[in-house]
Structure 1
Amino acid sequence: MSKISKLFKGSSSSSSSSSSKSKHHKSRGGPSAQEAIHKLRETEEMLTKKQDYLEKKIEQELMTAKKHGTKNKRAALQALKRKKRCEQQLTQIDGTLSTIEFQREALENSHTNTEVLKNMGFAAKAMKKVHENMDIDKIDDLMQDINEQQDVAREISDAISGPFGETFDEDELMAELEELEQEELEDNMMSMGGLPSVPSSRMPSAPSGHRATTKKRVEEDDDMKMLASWGT
């Protein structure tokens, strides 16, 4: 064997060795989810094309069987057999496509869940970093100080807005108010002409008949007093 042949052979064996190592490393690591989904989509596309071919083939064999009919029974039967085999393959492809579609959807969901978990983990790390410089005890002390200062501000506001140096008796104020109302009422009556005056002329005397009746009643009262004194 020539040196050139040995060189090419060594190079070939080295290349195949490195290739096998690469394949072994790749198989051990496994394909990514995106690669697997891409391969499944390619397989679906290939099987779909095969379905179209088989459907056309079935139509052709059926037309061949009709063409020969009873005239060439052997050719017609062969066409029907080929049609049946195509139909069987078509049924198998339908089942395979359903399985591949289910596997692809499961893989896509797993990939989506992985990305979601990855992002959630990223957000958790960011939140942890934000909270690194936060001390719960210091936060509690800060909130307590804020509440205390709010109470102080509220007390100051109440002190400023409250009455200053005003100590009046409510009863005295009410009495003064009633006196003012009475004066106001009297002033209004005076402005309207004052109180009605007492008539200066004498009242008309009672009729004579009325005077006689009154005198008689006095006499009867005297008689009753006398009878009462006798009875005692």
Structure 2
Amino acid sequence: MSGWGLGWFGGGAAKKDAPKKAILGLRSQLEMLNKREKHLENQMHEQDALARKHISTNKTAAKAALRRKKAFEHSLEQTNAQILTLENQIYSIETANINKETLDAMKNAGSAMQQIHAGLNIDKVDDVMENLREQQAIGDEISQAITSGVANNSIDEDELDEELAELQQEQLDEQMLKTGNVPVGDKVSKLPQAPISDVSRKTPARAEEEDEEEELRKLQAEMAM
């Protein structure tokens, strides 16, 4: 009874290791067949060389060597067929094992998602979102109530007059810079303008042109020397 119980609980691990053990057994057999293949090829080469050696001196020995070579060829064909069969079996088992592991991983992912979504439905999600919106609205109302009691809505008329005077002064300063006229009440006085010299009348383009002409004259003088 106890042995049956141990076999039952160990069955899962045995099933999981079965593909690995099968592949290891097939690879071991494949390695033996590969060695047999090389051995048969060597035997064929030896019998071929022996037949060539006795072809002129001892036809009976040469014929026997060819007969043995044919037997080795037949064994080699069987060995090659067995190698191909084992390689196909190994590939099939590896592919099936990969498919099974992929399917198991997908099943585990599905079970995990099922556990995550357990107890959830669209109605519960809607209820949660509605509750969040209500709480956010309550928070906004509370914030507005707190700030409305603290804010000072009174306006100081003296501060407004001072700010207005500053704006008027800034406007007068701008007019003086642009026109040179200083408005005084309703009258406008004309500020004397400083004479503009010929140098100040030169535009940047004219100054650059004169610099180029000066450089040209210097170059001509150097070439004349």
2:74 maps to which residue?
88
Q: Deviations over 1:125-179 (max 9, x none)?
A: 2332333243542222112222343455567778969x98599xxxxx9xxx7xx
Does 2:37 match 1:42?
no
Residue type at the aligned position of 2:189: L
Q: TM (normalized to structure 2)? A: 0.54
RMSD after superposition? 4.1
2:98 maps to which residue?
112
Higher RCO, 1 vs 2 (CA within 8 Å, ≥6 residues apart) = 1
Does 2:212 match 1:195?
no
Gaps of 5+ in 1: 1-28, 168-172, 197-232
Residue type at the aligned position of 1:60: E
In 2: Cα distance, 1:85 partner to 1:149 partner:
92
Residue type at the aligned position of 1:78: A
State percent identity of aligned pairs: 37
Q: Rg larger in 1 or in 2?
A: 1
* 1:64-213 equivalences in 2 (<5 Å): 64-151=50-137, 153=139, 165=153, 181=168, 185=172, 189=182, 195=189
* 1:11-22 equivalences in 2 (<5 Å): none
1:63 maps to which residue?
49
Gaps of 5+ in 2: 1-14, 177-181, 191-225
Residue type at the aligned position of 1:49: K
Q: TM (normalized to structure 1)? A: 0.52
Shift of 1:53: 1.2
Evaluate the alpha carbon distance shift between residue 118 and residue 194 of structure 1 in structure 2; reply closer, same or farther with a 3 A threshold: closer
